[in-house]
Chain A
């Protein structure tokens, strides 16, 4: 009995907070747009009994999904999102790895402080931090003022409202998610392994490639997924920092939902996004599993 309760609680949680909302979204995505409240048809009317349910099911169709394939905007947005997510993840890795490495090699007494500094930005609202980037990157912003004061540029650089600003925003926001798993992998590593590699004839650089990098692999994979998965559906950063040409599916979804009030199409977009995300999520879980097995 107790065991059943213990197992049941997380399942109940998943059903209530994940499966039910997903089914509602799925149902909306199969409905049609309507000028009503809520703005879609049909509504499930249980007062008519079983016949009402059948009538309801009969009206559901895949029309919205077909529509998504017809308008190039959507699949371009999906592709562009994937591309931005890939690139941003890669840049985050390039920036995050050396930081994590430096932290793991820092003196023992410094590590908690450094770790604290990495986590510190989370204490401020994410939205405020993105807004402050607007202040930094805009034409009259801090960065342009500094560069022109230094005499590096004559005319202000157009950074805000471009993809560059989106990359900066993503890398900045998700950097801790990259640093922390890599740091934890590197910190666990026994330093005598590097000495052993050197003792056996490796230079410092080849010891890094042959020992450090393979041993931090699981941390790198975890970090990449932790950045890639939320970036793919990112909406705030592209809408605040990106320009009109920045095509990301999160932004499209928001516009369908709130500007067009086309809930069924927006829901269809969300369902496809979820299906795309399931692949990296499964890969991520598998990596974690493998990691646990290797340690156990």
Chain B
């Protein structure tokens, strides 16, 4: 609940804690950071995510003060800190290698930063004890770093960097050296500590799962630029580019050409008529008919005019929309009674598909895919439909869905909780479909070489412009 309330980036009143203003960083000929502007707010858990060499570590090192920007400015609390040396910044860093001082005990490691501020001994001792309690290290205070485990070392590093109560804590791949189980535990611990201390955390990671788990916002980076900054949910469900969709999680990318779908339900009525036909030819007719209806309309029109048309058309459409579908179920019910299961499928899916959006021709001899959430501005362009495997259903019989494709199971990856099916379409394309294994293995019926149906709803995928 707190997560949904906490969104300072949507509030224009909020002042960002960290601002990157047109920052460029070059190392010789190599541009590590390219004209980057970014705001990070107080109490955020901000993740910089990207493949190695994308500039995320350079950004962090500029925040810590180990590198200075070549151009542009970095502001902390509204003050320019471009050239402030690291020892004079209210920013602390947790290093990837932890960088614990091997000649000092855990206690002295944590006290190291406090002693530099020449506080009195009692205050230092109290703060160190507090940090030891926070990170559950009290028992190990007297040990040297090489006498404790990797997970404990990680916590010492965290305690040491938090001890000075920095305004901003930087974490450089903090969990990279831990095994999976410990990493998952530590992720929740980090979030817990971040909440308790109220410190702003900026984490650098190449592990998208880690970024999604811990962060309030994620910035996906590529070659010195930020491709998308958004909450994990938006990054995952609504990536703004093929790069982000492909980088975050598993994704099926279906390339094709988009065309607009009719916005008015009137255009959909003819769909119901050929519906009672045999299933395979049916989607083809659905594709053909709206295509001829709509293609001449949006294509020659410029964007602004198209928008205006759309806006003026939308209001009457919305009014008409309700009676439209209501009128449809009546005949389909009759058909349902008359026909077998096959008839049921197209009828009910015609009812579910929202109007508008795009349809994507991805193979000459296959019905186009329907993406009701597609942006009409992409009509006529080469597009990629990004589809998460878990949103693709798999079944042996033709399912009742807006989009259905037939294929053959080539591979099954059984992961225990879920299974991923690699299904080859007749054209040779591979589509991954994921199902939760709610049934015991002996009772599941899909196996290798089976002919199966893949299906997904009209809003399951995200239509993105194909830039490649």
Contact = CB atoms under 8 A, between A and B. Distances in A.
Contacts of A200: 87, 92, 112-113, 116, 160-161, 164
Given A199-B92, A200-B164, A201-B164, A192 B85 contact: no
Which 5 A-B residue pairings sit nearest by Cβ, starting from the closest?
Answer: A200-B113, A201-B116, A196-B99, A192-B99, A198-B86
B86 A199 contact: yes
Given A197-B101, A200-B160, 14 more contacts: A190-B97, A192-B96, A192-B97, A193-B99, A193-B101, A196-B99, A197-B112, A198-B85, A198-B87, A199-B93, A201-B87, A201-B113, A201-B117, A215-B103
A214 interface: yes
A200 B113 CA distance: 5
Nearest to A191: B99
B87 A202 contact: yes
B199 to A, nearest CB: 15
Among the interface residues A190, A192, A196, A200, which one has the most CB atoms of the partner chain B within 10 A?
A200
Contact of A190 (B93, B99, B112, B164): B99
A110 B92 CA distance: 33
Interface residues on B, range: 20 to 34
B140 interface: no
B146 interface: yes
A136 interface: no
Interface string B70-107: 00000000000000011100011101110111110000
A294 interface: yes
Interface in B132-154: 146
26 contacts: A192-B96, A195-B86, A195-B93, A195-B99, A196-B93, A196-B101, A197-B112, A198-B85, A198-B86, A198-B87, A199-B64, A199-B65, A199-B86, A199-B87, A199-B91, A199-B93, A200-B87, A200-B112, A200-B160, A201-B87, A201-B164, A203-B87, A210-B112, A211-B101, A215-B102, A217-B103
Contact of B95 (A196, A203, A206, A215): A196
A294 B101 CA distance: 13
B188 interface: no
B27 to A, nearest CB: 15
A199 B101 CA distance: 13
A197 B164 CA distance: 13
B109 to A, nearest CB: 9
Interface of B: 64-66, 85-87, 91-93, 95-97, 99-103, 112-113, 116-117, 146, 160-161, 164
A158 to B, nearest CB: 46
Contacts of A210: 112
Contacts of A294: 102, 146
Interface of A: 190, 192-193, 195-203, 206, 210-211, 214-215, 217, 294
A214 B99 contact: no
B21 to A, nearest CB: 23
Nearest to B157: A196
A196 B86 CA distance: 9
A195 B66 CA distance: 8
B102 A195 contact: no
Contacts of B101: 193, 196-197, 211
A215 B145 CA distance: 14
A206 B95 CA distance: 20
Nearest to A201: B116
B468 to A, nearest CB: 37
A214 B103 contact: yes
Nearest to B160: A200
Contacts of A215: 102-103
A46 B97 CA distance: 69
B173 to A, nearest CB: 12
Contacts of B117: 201
B178 to A, nearest CB: 18
Nearest to A207: B87
Contacts of A203: 87
Contacts of B160: 200
A294 to B, nearest CB: 7
Contacts of A198: 66, 85-87
B169 to A, nearest CB: 11
Among the interface residues B65, B116, B146, which one has the most CB atoms of the partner chain A within 10 A?
B116
Contacts of B95: 192, 195-196
A215 B112 CA distance: 15
Among the interface residues B65, B97, B101, B160, which one has the most CB atoms of the partner chain A within 10 A?
B101
A192 B95 CA distance: 8
A214 B91 CA distance: 26
Contacts of A197: 101, 112
Contacts of B91: 199
Nearest to A296: B146
B277 to A, nearest CB: 69
A198 B113 CA distance: 9
A192 B113 CA distance: 15
Contacts of B99: 190, 192-193, 195-196
A198 B99 CA distance: 12
Contacts of A196: 93, 95, 99-101
Contacts of A206: 116
B15 to A, nearest CB: 25
A89 B39 CA distance: 57
Contacts of B87: 198-203
B296 to A, nearest CB: 64
Nearest to A214: B103
Nearest to B144: A294
A195 B96 CA distance: 12
A193 B109 CA distance: 11
Contacts of A199: 64-65, 86-87, 91-93, 161
A206 B87 CA distance: 11
A193 B91 CA distance: 16
Contacts of A192: 95-97, 99
Contacts of B116: 200-202, 206
Contacts of B92: 199-200
A199 B113 CA distance: 8
Contacts of B85: 198
